[in-house]
Every structure is written in structure tokens, then in C-alpha cells.
Structure 1
Amino acid sequence: MGILNIGTQALNANLLALQTTGNNIANVNTAGYSRQSVIQQTVAGQYTGAGYIGKGVTVATIQRNYDQFLTRQSALAASTQAADATRSDYLAQLSNIFQGGTDGIGASINDMMNSFSDVASAPTDLTARTVALTRIDETARRMRAASQSLDDLQTGISQSLTEKIGAVNTLAKNIAAVNEQIARAMGNSQPPNDLLDKRDQLIKNLNQYVQTTSIAADDGSVGVYIGGSQALVLGASAATLSLAKNDFGDTLQNKLVITQAGNAVTMDESRLGGGEISGLLRFQNTDLVEGRNLLGRLTTAVTGSMNAQHALGLDLNGQPGGDLFTPVSVNNILTPTAPATLNTGSVTYGSGAATDLTLAVTNTSTLVASDYLVTVTSPTQVSITRVSDGVSVPVNVANPSVPITFDPTNAAVPITFDGLTLTNLAGANTGDRFYLQPFSTAASNITREFSTPSALAVASPIAGKMGTTNKGSLQLSSLVAGVNPPTNVPVTITFTSASSYTRSDVAGSFTYTSGKPILGTGTPSAWSLTLQGAPQNLDTFTLQDIKTTSLDLKLNGGNASALMALRDVPTFDGAAMSDGYASLISEIGVRAQSANYSATVSTNIAQNAEKDRTGVSGVNMDEEAAKLLQYQQAYQASAKMIQVAQTIFDTLIQTLGR
């Protein structure tokens, strides 16, 4: 009977609808599950003279509620958010390393400088000298501690990268396996909804680590690509990711390598897009390097200036001062190493030979916190690029485009830039490259060099005295030695008027300006003298080696005053040494704030994108409950239809049996 068939079909169709609705409700909290719907269609009617008579309903398919565009947008937004959040988290940790306040490096530097005030006032006071040495030791300790914290952060990043790359490789294999299952299932002419959901979720999870692009194939599988065009998954096969050192073999900077069928390709970090791995690599290769360089420059400039000034003093035994801090070596040079050493010239480095390529500091006040890429562009020319900003280092300030030249026949001719000097480049061939890392490890081994208070060289090797018959208002403002032991002394300055003077060491007449330094001969100047006031004709000022005078050098604190005065010397991008740490904190703080803002914005975007996706694919409990009632009533009505058909059939049998 037709009505029985129609009822049976309706019963089955509504039963499937009930089962599907129940499945939706059961998977409301299942990650990646897409709401499913039963698509019903009418059975073609039977033609009769009275017209077409309906033959019921059938289920065409179980449809997955899915929007490819929204799913893709959600995955991309989540990938960007993962990269921004990861970088922001690590920059926050970096900011914590460079803390301000009394526990920061800046406070210890200022305390160290200020401690020389008491030494200058009482040069023979061993207690004041001990305090100064303690402050020096504390400054070195905090610099080392910051460097160790950066090393610990680097170790954590390396471990995290290894774990996340392992997770990517596992996800890629799983996607390849699901691809194979989907391709087989597609032969049944019905979409395997659960497998498709599983693959979408795997791809979404993969995007948390590295941003991907998916391209569907005819067999139902998808190709998953990273870095723009590198195939991570093709059908049922998956490539593997790994970490490698950069082109110069730097262990502190990594590249991502993808291996497909035994062919390894180093990927361009700038094309990775989002994902936690991208965020980690960007932080490690850019932000952490910047942090190391800022700390290294601070350490190099502060300790180098202090050592140089301390060497210009005399200790309680009349001996020239030694180093206050362990001298910093900036001679960290790398050459391309992948797949093998690529330079073809004869330049050596790191062998300890006198002919090695050598990098040294020549001016601590012009150092820039950056690595450098040196490229030999011709037999006599070289380009030097700051890695931090990509700017070519100018040699000719008036014309920065003028290339840097070197003498290929004379290795000793230096190339000077940004307060550094590079020597022994002779023998380099065109195309040779060198990577300079002056500051990356500068603070790692910094220590105080001695602990004996009497060895603190706070006496100036030069003394000055006014003429006993002076009549003007001339006063000594400062007298600083430029070399130790002193050279070209004694020197007598005789004033011929209120605005002119002669010198016993240099012929001629010179213009006097109150407060303007008078420099000794030589490079560097043997001394720097600053006088204040208005002299009269024949007034004199005499400079002498303090050891040749009747003065007690033990009572002289001139070099202690000079050490204390270093805090006001322009050292960091024109800022005073005492402001150098504040500049470092500012640099890191700006990066951290910018990254935090980006993470906040990308988080909001990701949440909105996921909300849009779930609006299409997600399970709404209220909607499903309403459908449950709808299909329940339809099922009951279908059962009633069968019951009616059964009653009709029973009546017919009874009638025929009479």
C-alpha cells in the first residue's frame, strides 16, 4: 500500500533527523565539530490519470554546516594572534630582566659613580675606597646576572621551539593520514563529515604553531603549505620541520628548515606569517638579539670608559691604575658556514694569529647596539650594514653613498665605523662576507679586577699651580690627564692679556676664553685644562708631573673626580652615561608595549572571526532543542500514518474474509 510506504519512509527520515539532532547536542562541546543537518528530498511522484501521486520522502545526505571562507579566516586570525601573543609574552619577560628602581643596573652604575665622591674628598680613607670597590663589584654582578637571564631565556626559547616543531611534525602526519582516509571515503559518493571536521581541526591546531595555506585536491584531500609555497602535506605524505643555525653558524639565531623527500630547504623567516613558531623566531632573532646588544653596548661603554679613566690615575703606591673591570672583547666574527665555508679569500679569524681579522673598540661614545654584516663588494671596497636597522654605515658623512675602501696589500690599515675598528681585511675576495657581533656576549664574564683598596688609582698624575704673583681672578676648573705617565710637562701658560696667552711647549700666541678647555699636545691630548676667570698680564699657570712636585699624591683625588664626572659624558646616542640604562629600558619597553597592543588587537580579531565561524558551524542548544521537538512530532505523525495504514489493511482483510 502506498500510504504504508510513505509512512515508513517518513518514519525513517524523521528518525535520521532525530539521530542527527541528538548527535549535534552530544557534540556541543567537541572541538572542531560542525553542526550537521539532514537534507530530505521528495521521492518522484507516480503518474496517474488524476495526476502525479506523491510517493514519500527520502534522505539525500547528511550535510555539514560549513563555510570555507569563515573557517579559513578563523584559522588565519588565530595564527596571527598566536604569533603576537607569544612574542608579547616573551618581551614581557625581557622587560622584567631589565628592571628599573634600586635593583636595576642603572641604579648600581649611579651608585658606583657617586661612590667616588667620598674617595675624591678623602683619598686616603680606605673605607671610602672599599665602598667604591663594592659598588664596582655590584655593577659587574648585575651585568652578569642580566646576561645569565638572557641566556636562560634563550634556553627556554630553544626548548619551546623544539617542542612546537615536534608538535607540527605530528600534526602534519595526522593530516596526511586523515587525507588518505577521506580520499577513500569519498568513493562512497557521500561526504565523510566527521573526517572532514577532524582534518579542519588538525589544520586549525597546526595554524597555532605555523600559518598555513590549504588547497583542495580532486580526491578530497588537501595540500597544506607554509612559508608561502613550501608543501608541508601533500595527499598522504608529510614533510618534516627542523631547526638549523643561521647562514653564519650563529647558535643564538635559528632558521626553520623543511625537508621534503630528502631535500632540505631553509625557509625565509619573514614569509612564515603567524603562529607561535614564527613569534618565537622573531623574538629570538630580533628582540632578544637587540636586548643582548643593548646590554652589551652598555657594559662595553661603561666598563671601557671606567677602565680607560682609571688607567690615567695613580694608586696609593704611585703606580698607574689597572683595569677596574674585566676588559670586554668585541672580537666576535662569523663567516658563512652553510653548507660549507663560503668565503674564498685568505682572511682568517679566531685562530689567535696576529693576522686574524680583528674588531676592537676605538670610541665608546659612538657605539651602536647592533650586529653588522660586512660584504666585500670589490677588490678594494666593502659595505658594512647594521643588522638592527638595515642601514649602510656611512664613512663619508657628507656623502654616505661613498663606499668604504680598504688596501688589499696592507692588512693593518683599519676600517673605522660606529666607534669600532676592523683590521686585517687584506686578502678578502669579492663576495666574501663576515658577520660581526660586538656586544652579544660582552656582559657574560664581566667582573671586578681587583679587591685591594690601595690599588684604586684615584690620584691624578698631573698637578697644576697658580703663579705666586698672579693678580687676576684666574681659577682652576678642571685638570684631567690624557696619558699616564704624563708627557710634555712641565708646561707653563703665561697670560699676555685678559684674552691671550703663550705656552712653554708650543710656539705662538693663543686666544683665551674662560671655561674653554686648553689641550695638551699629542693624540690623545696629553692633558685637558679648564680655567675660569679673568687673568691679568703675566699671570701664570704651571702643569707638572705630580711625582716631581712636593705634593703628596696620596692626598690627591683628581682622578676620582674624573671618574665621577664620566656619568655626565655623552655616551649613548648623545645621552649621558648615567642615562644609558634608562635608554635601554625605554628601547625594550617600547617594543613590549607595541607587541602587547598588537596581541590585544589580534586577539579581538581572532575572537570575532571564531564567533562568525561558530555562527555557521557551531551547535546552538536552543535551536537543536526546537528541532528535536519538531522531528519528534514528525516521527509520531509518521507512526500514526503507519497505524492508519494498518487499520485500513485490517478492515480490508476482514471484508474480503466474509
Structure 2
Amino acid sequence: MNLVNIAMSGLNANSVALSVTAQNVANINTPGYSRQQALMASVGGSVSDKLSAGMGVEVTSIRRVTDDFLVKQLWSTNSTASYASHYASSMSHLENTLGADGFSLSAGLDSLFAALNEATTKPESQPLRQQIINEAEALSRRFNALNDAMYSQHKDMHDQRNAAVSHANSLLNNIADINKQLMEAQGTGGSAAQLLDTRDMLIGELSKVMEIKTTEQSDGSLQVTLASGQPLIMGGEAGQLKAMPHSDDAYMADLYVEFGNQSFAVNDSVGGELGALNDYQVSVLKPNQVAINDMAKALADEVNAVLATGKDLNGDAGTPLFTYDPNNPADSLTITDIAAEELAFSSDGTPGNSDVLKDLIALSNKPVSVTGFGNVSLNDAFTAMVGETAIKSRQAAADYEAKAAMNKQALTQRNNVSAVSSNEEAGNLMMFANVHNANMKVISTANELFNSVLQLF
């Protein structure tokens, strides 16, 4: 009987729909899962029978509910939010470093020049002279501690970049492998929903490391490139990122993409975590390291030059107080083994004469050349560095808040379309169960009618 066949088609179709709903409910807490939907179509009747209502229903496909635009928007905001997060974190670390009492060059300079001023009351005093040496040594320790802290962060940036490159390469290999599986699945007509969800999740992770562009291919694979165009994934083949250290600084590096036998230089910022690490190193950390070294060298050169014009308490020519070694980041500025009586504060060697000492004090306001800050006093240079860093840190924090909000909004928009809604699926369960039972009732009714007909004979 057509009645039974129609009911059976409805029974089978709604059984599939119930299975799809059950799969959705089971994955309601699965990250990256895209809900599925059974698409049904009416089965038409015979074109030669005008009284045929049709032959029931069939499930034409199981749709993976997704929106490519929203997914790509999520990947894009992943990149910008990751960049802003890592850049803001690095700026905050530097701000805290420069603001720490033990790293304050301004405090060290103030203490040294205060000791020099105090010595003018009695230039020949051994305790006052020793105090100057002590403050000079304390200032050199501040320079070295700050330089070492920046050097350590510089090395951390290098380590983080290597870890990010390794993570990106692993993701590229996994995405290319899924591309292969998707191409095979398309050829056999199998279900690809889980593979597509997994690929989207992996690309989402990759987008946090660097900004990418994707292009869907007719064979089911996804082509992935850097935003600047260098190829990362073509079908089932994956390229590999490589960080090449600079010859003059092993903790700085240039990025390359190696694909097959070709190597592509990456000259633009790659965005994401890698872009933030590189931009912070190049634009902030490295220039500040150079400026700190300029200040240390200027202090040593200026103080030693003034001392060379005088004579000490023994009548001997002045000797240096500081030694500067740019090749030793942790100990670049040190004091010599000069004794208190060897400080040359007088131009003629007279114990009470302090004309050279006054020249030393005048250095507190003498402009010196500091890269990135022009010709300014040492104190003003460090104050400007602290102030500039604080401003950049606040800007970076505000930028991160904005980018994180955009990323959260993009995730919400994606989830509104693709994520599982418990209320919606509960409604679907009731609806498909009721329709399933209704088709069972149709079969039962058809059987009763058939039995009634049989009883007529």
C-alpha cells in the first residue's frame, strides 16, 4: 500500500533527523563543533497519476550549519587580538621594568650628583669622596641591572618566536593532512563535517600565530597564504616557517617561508603573535637598549673626560672613574679601582680647590647624544624613556581591549549561527519524535484498514 510506503519514508527520514539532533546535543560543549541539520525533500508521485499525492519524504543531505564569512571574520579578529595581547603584555613588562625602584637611572643619577654637591663643602674630605665612589658604583649597578633585564627580555622574545614558529609549522602540517582527507572524502561521498570542524579549529589556532588568507578549492581543500601572499598550504602540501638569526644579533631574526624547493622572504609584519614579537623587538625594545647603552657610554666618557683635566690629592693627573664595555650586557658599566684620594677635583692639585668638581656637577644638565631622544641630559633622556613607554603601554592596553572585544563579538556571531542551542535542539527532539510517532500511527492505521478489507472476504 502507498500509505505504508509513505509512512515508512517519513519514519526513516525523521529517524535520521533524530540522530542528527542527538549528535548535536552530544556535542553541545565541544569547542568548534558546527551543528548539523537534516535537509528533507518531498518525493513526488507518478506524473501519469493525477490522483497521486506523492511518495513521501527523503533526507537529501545532512547540512553542516556554518557561515564562511563569519568564520573568516573570526580568524581575522583572532590575529588582531593575538597581536594586541602579546604587544600589550610586552609593553607592560617593559613599563614595570623601567618603573622599578632598583632600575631607576634618574634616582641613581640624582644620588651621584647629590654626593658631588655635598663634596663641595669640603673637597678634601675622604668620607665625602668615598661616598661619591659608592654612589658611582650604585649607579653603575642600576645601569647593568636595567641593561641585563632588557637583554633577558630580548632573549625571551627570541625563545617565544622559535616556539611560535614551531607551533605554526605543526599546525600547517596538520591542516595539510586534513586537506588530503577532505579531498578523499569528497571523492567517496563520505561525511566531512568532523574534518571541516577540525580544520576550522586548526586554522583558528594558526590565525592567532600570524595573519592568514584562505581560498576554498574545488577539490574540497583550502589554500592558505600569509596576508602578504607567501604560500603556506596548497592542497595536501604544507610549507614551513623558518626564523633566520641576524649575523650581528642572534636574538633578532628574519622570517622565511620554505615551500618545496623555494624560499620566500617575509618582509612585512605577519600579524598575530609572531608579528607582535617582531614589531616590539624592532620598534621598542632594541631602540631602548641602544639608548641605555648610549647613556652609559656618555656618562663614562663625560665623567672621565672632566676628571682627566684635574689633579688628585697627591698632585697626580686625574684617572678614570668609569669603564664602559658594550660587549658585556650584564656588566657594561663598572667603576675602576680608583681610591678616594685619587679623585681629581682640583685643576692645580690644591686640596681645597673644587673647580673640577664643579665641572662634574655641571654634567647633570649637559646635553649628550642619546639615540631616539636627541641631545638631552642623561636624566631627561631616562625620564623621556619612562614617559614614552608608559604612554605606549596605555595605548597598547586600550588597543588590546578593543581588539579583544571585536574578537569576542566575532566568536559570538559565529556561535549564533553554528553553535548548538540546547533550547532549539530540545524543540527539535520533541518535533521529530512527534512526527516519528505520527508516522507510526499512519502505519498502524494502514494495517487496520488492510485487516478490515481482509475481513470482508
User: TM-score when scaled to structure 2?
Assistant: 0.94
Match of 2:411 in 1: 610
383, 393, 405: which one aligns with 1:582: 383
Asked whether the equivalents of residues 158 and 252 of structure 2 are also in contact (C-alpha less than 8 Å), the reply is no
Match of 1:591 in 2: 392
Asked whether the equivalents of residues 32 and 197 of structure 2 are also in contact (C-alpha less than 8 Å), the reply is yes
Partner Cα separation in structure 2 for residue 157 and residue 182 of structure 1: 37
Asked whether the equivalents of residues 155 and 251 of structure 2 are also in contact (C-alpha less than 8 Å), the reply is no
Deviation at 1:205, TM superposition (A): 0.9
Asked whether the equivalents of residues 88 and 599 of structure 1 are also in contact (C-alpha less than 8 Å), the reply is yes
Match of 1:450 in 2: 337
The letter of the residue matching 2:452 is T
Deviation at 1:579, TM superposition (A): 2.1
Partner Cα separation in structure 1 for residue 436 and residue 294 of structure 2: 79
Alignment of 1:73-222 (within 5 A): 73-99=73-99, 101=101, 104-189=104-189, 192-222=192-222
Deviation at 1:152, TM superposition (A): 1.2
Moved more, 276-285 or 571-580: 571-580
Asked whether the equivalents of residues 315 and 458 of structure 1 are also in contact (C-alpha less than 8 Å), the reply is yes
The CA deviation string for residues 85-141 of structure 1, in whole angstroms up to 9 with x for no partner, is: 111101111112212557512101110111011212111211111111111001111
Secondary structure of the corresponding residue to residue 135 of structure 1? helix
Match of 1:305 in 2: 302
424, 430, 442: which one aligns with 1:629: 430
Deviation at 1:649, TM superposition (A): 3.0
549, 558, 567: which one aligns with 2:364: 567
Match of 2:353 in 1: 556
Q: How many residues are matched?
A: 453
The CA deviation string for residues 205-258 of structure 1, in whole angstroms up to 9 with x for no partner, is: 110111111111111111110142211111111111111024x54323211111
The letter of the residue matching 2:306 is Q
Query: Taking structure 1 as reference, are residues 32 and 265 closer, same or farther at Cα in structure 2, changes over 3 Å only?
Result: same
Asked whether the equivalents of residues 244 and 254 of structure 1 are also in contact (C-alpha less than 8 Å), the reply is yes
Asked whether the equivalents of residues 121 and 557 of structure 1 are also in contact (C-alpha less than 8 Å), the reply is no
Query: Taking structure 1 as reference, are residues 570 and 564 closer, same or farther at Cα in structure 2, changes over 3 Å only?
Result: same
Deviation at 1:74, TM superposition (A): 0.9
Partner Cα separation in structure 1 for residue 318 and residue 397 of structure 2: 48
Partner Cα separation in structure 1 for residue 153 and residue 103 of structure 2: 20
Deviation at 1:443, TM superposition (A): 7.4
Partner Cα separation in structure 2 for residue 574 and residue 287 of structure 1: 19
Partner Cα separation in structure 1 for residue 279 and residue 190 of structure 2: 44
Query: Taking structure 1 as reference, are residues 301 and 443 closer, same or farther at Cα in structure 2, changes over 3 Å only?
Result: farther
The CA deviation string for residues 19-76 of structure 1, in whole angstroms up to 9 with x for no partner, is: 1112112212212111111100000123465533221100011111111111101100
Task: State yes or no: 1:284 paired with 2:284.
Answer: no
Partner Cα separation in structure 2 for residue 309 and residue 238 of structure 1: 63
Asked whether the equivalents of residues 311 and 345 of structure 2 are also in contact (C-alpha less than 8 Å), the reply is yes
Query: Taking structure 1 as reference, are residues 48 and 72 closer, same or farther at Cα in structure 2, changes over 3 Å only?
Result: same
388, 402, 405: which one aligns with 1:601: 402
Moved more, 107-116 or 148-157: 148-157
Match of 2:264 in 1: 265
Secondary structure of the corresponding residue to residue 115 of structure 1? helix
Match of 1:644 in 2: 445
Percent identity over paired residues:
26
The CA deviation string for residues 124-172 of structure 1, in whole angstroms up to 9 with x for no partner, is: 2111111111110011111111111112112212221111111111111
Secondary structure of the corresponding residue to residue 391 of structure 2? helix
Task: State yes or no: 1:58 paired with 2:94.
Answer: no
Match of 1:324 in 2: 321
The letter of the residue matching 2:415 is T
Partner Cα separation in structure 2 for residue 202 and residue 648 of structure 1: 57
Asked whether the equivalents of residues 168 and 209 of structure 2 are also in contact (C-alpha less than 8 Å), the reply is yes
Asked whether the equivalents of residues 299 and 443 of structure 1 are also in contact (C-alpha less than 8 Å), the reply is no
Asked whether the equivalents of residues 256 and 269 of structure 1 are also in contact (C-alpha less than 8 Å), the reply is no
The CA deviation string for residues 572-618 of structure 1, in whole angstroms up to 9 with x for no partner, is: 63543332211111222222222222212111111111211112112
- Higher relative CO (Cα under 8 Å, sequence separation at least 6) belongs to 2
Partner Cα separation in structure 2 for residue 186 and residue 81 of structure 1: 34
Asked whether the equivalents of residues 324 and 332 of structure 2 are also in contact (C-alpha less than 8 Å), the reply is no
Query: Taking structure 1 as reference, are residues 241 and 50 closer, same or farther at Cα in structure 2, changes over 3 Å only?
Result: closer
Asked whether the equivalents of residues 47 and 53 of structure 1 are also in contact (C-alpha less than 8 Å), the reply is no
Secondary structure of the corresponding residue to residue 447 of structure 1? strand
Asked whether the equivalents of residues 158 and 251 of structure 2 are also in contact (C-alpha less than 8 Å), the reply is no
Query: Taking structure 1 as reference, are residues 579 and 49 closer, same or farther at Cα in structure 2, changes over 3 Å only?
Result: closer
Higher strand share: 1
Secondary structure of the corresponding residue to residue 98 of structure 1? helix
Partner Cα separation in structure 2 for residue 652 and residue 295 of structure 1: 103
The letter of the residue matching 2:114 is N
Secondary structure of the corresponding residue to residue 433 of structure 2? helix
Partner Cα separation in structure 2 for residue 62 and residue 653 of structure 1: 41
Secondary structure of the corresponding residue to residue 208 of structure 1? helix
Partner Cα separation in structure 1 for residue 218 and residue 338 of structure 2: 77
Asked whether the equivalents of residues 243 and 257 of structure 1 are also in contact (C-alpha less than 8 Å), the reply is yes
Asked whether the equivalents of residues 227 and 268 of structure 1 are also in contact (C-alpha less than 8 Å), the reply is no
The CA deviation string for residues 408-446 of structure 1, in whole angstroms up to 9 with x for no partner, is: xxxxxxxxxxxxxxxxxxxxxxxxxxxxxxxxx777521
Deviation at 1:190, TM superposition (A): 5.9
**Uncovered stretches (5+) of structure 2, i.e. residues with no partner:** none
The CA deviation string for residues 515-558 of structure 1, in whole angstroms up to 9 with x for no partner, is: xxxxxxxxxxxxxxxxxxxxxxxxxxxxxxx36xxxxx111222
Query: Taking structure 1 as reference, are residues 577 and 162 closer, same or farther at Cα in structure 2, changes over 3 Å only?
Result: closer
Partner Cα separation in structure 2 for residue 605 and residue 32 of structure 1: 18
The letter of the residue matching 1:452 is A
Secondary structure of the corresponding residue to residue 39 of structure 1? strand
The letter of the residue matching 1:458 is F
**Uncovered stretches (5+) of structure 1, i.e. residues with no partner:** 333-440, 462-545, 548-552
Asked whether the equivalents of residues 255 and 269 of structure 1 are also in contact (C-alpha less than 8 Å), the reply is no
User: TM-score when scaled to structure 1?
Assistant: 0.66
Partner Cα separation in structure 2 for residue 646 and residue 607 of structure 1: 56
Match of 1:241 in 2: 241
Asked whether the equivalents of residues 42 and 56 of structure 1 are also in contact (C-alpha less than 8 Å), the reply is yes
The letter of the residue matching 1:302 is L
Deviation at 1:304, TM superposition (A): 2.1
Larger Cα-atom Rg: 1
The letter of the residue matching 1:447 is T
Partner Cα separation in structure 2 for residue 107 and residue 285 of structure 1: 28
Match of 2:421 in 1: 620
The letter of the residue matching 1:89 is S
